[in-house]
Amino acid sequence: DAKTTQPPSMDCAEGRAANLPCNHSTISGNEYVYWYRQIHSQGPQYIIHGLKNNETNEMASLIITEDRKSSTLILPHATLRDTAVYYCIVRVPGNQFYFGTGTSLTVIP
């Protein structure tokens, strides 16, 4: 599976949109982009996934560039409870997940 690159940390003001970038320049056509997050001392939690179309659910939106070499997770109105480590993963269904080190997002009051 392709590797991903994420900034190690980001800050976001409470109530603002948090935009978390991910580069996956070697992604192949059958690899999906997944986002999980891990709040301190808990197991990771699924957020959203997509192949090439933009996706939205009750938690977040996922924007994937047309060439699929990068994506952005958007938390539209960040709250203090969104402070967590966010992992971007690319994966072929049936393969294991490689989580990497993620982006540590801090939402500031």
From residue 67 to residue 86, what is the string marking binding to another protein with x (rule CB under 8 A)?
------------------x-
- Rounded Cα–Cα distance for residues 15 and 44 (Å): 23
Q: Give the binding-site size for another protein (rule: CB under 8 A).
A: 22
Q: Of 14, 19, 23, 49, which lies in the binding site for another protein, with binding defined by CB under 8 A?
A: 49
Using the rule CB under 8 A, give the single segment among 9-17, 62-70, 74-82, 91-99 that binds another protein. Answer: 91-99
- Rounded Cα–Cα distance for residues 64 and 39 (Å): 24
Instruction: Tell me the two tokens of residue 57.
Output: 């659910």
Element holding 99 (H helix, E strand): none
Q: Of 19, 21, 44, 106, which lies in the binding site for another protein, with binding defined by CB under 8 A?
A: 44
Q: Of 42, 67, 81, 109, which lies in the binding site for another protein, with binding defined by CB under 8 A?
A: 42
Question: Which residue's entry shows tokens 């977040």?
Answer: 60
Contact flag: residue 97 with another protein (CB under 8 A): yes
Lay out the sheet containing 45-50: strands in order across.
9-13, 103-108, 84-91, 32-38, 45-50
